[in-house]
Homo-oligomer: A and B are copies of this chain.
Amino acid sequence: MQNLRADVKELMQLLQQTELFAETDLEALETLAAAAELRACARGEILFNAGDRATGLYVVAEGRVLVSRVGRDGREQILHDFGPGELVGEVAMFSGGDFPAGAQAAEAARVLFLSRDTFVRLAHDQPDLLLGLIAVLSRRLRHFVHLVDDLSLKEVDARLARILLEMAAGEITFELPMSKAQLAARIGTIPETLSRCLKRLQNNGVIQVQGPKLELLKVRVLQQLAGE
């Protein structure tokens, strides 16, 4: 991970586009920007591992960062897939102090690092920031409820259907925003199983797969599979 030079103006702009700091006033933003470090990481590079001591949090400026847990057998479960503007590693700051999961760049990325101190000092006289953080955490919890629901109560087909609909975002053709191996890890399975599920859906005429290109032929069927 490489530290980059960046002027405060640019950092302020980046911060303004984040979920947490969008409403923060300019003065505070400047303090924040002055204390932030901009870092570049290569595809696959690790930001932190589960169990690492957390000295601060990250904000994704560009690229995508995956947060995941890895089992003893090497299998990986992706917990979050964060894009520009999203916070990474905020939980560790307010409970425990170590990261409960690991994070790595899914593609070349730039991230802002904010030290714990910087953040705490700022939050002290910006109660709005706390409200924003509460909103972020609540959204994360909601996401986890659905993830647990999926993993515990649904089969792979249902999870796949749901994520396809989500990634399609209303379109009927789209390109997978990640490798199939990563997609498998997101829905809590392995590439082989994913491959077979996609095949089955294709054989049933529900979707059309062409490398990373997907076409949703029967959206209704997918919705039903996903559990409404």
Contact = CB atoms under 8 A, between A and B. Distances in A.
Interface of A: 69-73, 75, 77, 79, 90-91, 93-96, 100-101, 127, 130-131, 133-135, 137-142, 144-149, 151-154, 188, 227
User: Taking each of A138, A144, A152, which has the highest tally of chain B beta carbons within 10 Å of its own beta carbon?
Assistant: A152
A69 B100 contact: no
A152 B95 contact: no
A34 B223 CA distance: 47
Contact of A134 (B100, B137, B151): B137
Contacts of A138: 90-91, 93-96, 137
Contacts of A139: 95
Nearest to A144: B144
Given A71-B153, A130-B127, A134-B133, A145 B94 contact: no
A132 to B, nearest CB: 10
Nearest to A126: B127
Nearest to A93: B138
Given A73-B153, A130-B130, 14 more contacts: A69-B149, A69-B152, A70-B153, A77-B149, A90-B138, A91-B145, A94-B134, A96-B138, A96-B142, A127-B130, A130-B134, A133-B134, A148-B148, A151-B151
A177 to B, nearest CB: 21
A131 to B, nearest CB: 7
Contacts of A93: 138
B100 A142 contact: yes
